[in-house]
Amino acid sequence: MALDGDWMVSLTVSPGFYSAGSSPGMDGFNAPGLLLGTRKISPTFSLAVGLRFDAFSDNSVLPIAGFRWQPAPEWTVSVGAPRTEAVYKVREGIEVFGGGSFQGGGFAFDDPQLRSSGTISLRDTYVDYREIRVGGGLRWNLGKAVALELEGGWVVDRRVDYYERSLEVKTDGASFWHLGVTTRF
């Protein structure tokens, strides 16, 4: 929502069942989201501040800050969380990009059969999942409101933190690929 020519506020909420284990239930319902305020400083530079919220996460509210800069008509640089990237417009409707991102969230977990080494039960608990990714890709605008995106790269850090049980699992790096269709309205 544009407040005036210089300010814009956006709210993204993703309600759903964020659970794993024996059966989905109301214990797995969550509505994580992002509230973001953006201030246009000049035609080529904007600052953004906001809050990420996730009731299932160990840190249920996190501050977010970043900026967007367009040093030339074909280049855009965005720095901040959850994504930092440089975008080059090859031609109208086609962009290539590269950068890094944070992925993750909180989930309800209830699996009576899964135990760590020792006596820690992972039944009826919450887990934080986090990935740090680097990579690049291509965006192809199929119209004013629809785009196709192909992205690939490497997960440099992946952690699963059962914070209520004081158990953190770190895995090795791995490749990732993403093919998606996005829309704006």
The mean-pLDDT minimum among 23-27, 46-50, 76-80 falls in: 23-27
Strands 125-141 and 94-110: antiparallel
Output phi, psi for 10, to 5 deg: -135, 145
Q: Which residue has the tokens 């367009």?
A: 70
Could you give the percent of the chain with pLDDT greater than 90? 64
Q: Is pLDDT of 35 > 80?
A: yes
Q: Of 63, 4, 5, which is closest to residue 36 (Cα–Cα)? A: 63
Handedness of CA 149, 154, 156, 158 (dihedral sign): positive
Give the model confidence (pLDDT) of 151-183 as tens digits: 999 999 999 998 888 889 999 999 999 999 988
For 80, the token pair is: 């901040």
pTM for the structure as a whole: 0.78
**More confidently predicted of 3 and 80:** 80
